[in-house]
A = this chain, B = another copy of it.
Amino acid sequence: MSNEVMPLSILTTGGTIEKIYDEFEGSLQNRETIVRNKILQKLRLPYTDISVKQIMSKDSLFMDDKDREYILGCIKETENSGRPIVILHGTDTLDITSRFCFENYPEIKVAVVFTGAMKPLGFDDSDATQNVIEAIFAARILSPGYYATFHGKLFKVPNLRKNKKLGTFEEIN
Contact = CB atoms under 8 A, between A and B. Distances in A.
B123 A140 contact: no
B138 A137 contact: yes
Contacts of A28: 21, 26-28
A74 interface: no
A39 to B, nearest CB: 10
Contact of A21 (B26, B46, B119, B152): B119
A137 B148 CA distance: 13
Interface in A65-124: 118-120, 122-124
Nearest to A137: B134
A47 B125 contact: no
Contact of A123 (B118, B124, B130, B149): B124
Contacts of A173: 2
Contacts of A166: 46
Interface of A: 2-3, 16, 21, 23-24, 26-28, 42-48, 118-120, 122-125, 127, 130, 133-134, 136-138, 140-141, 149, 151-154, 159, 164, 166-168, 170-171, 173
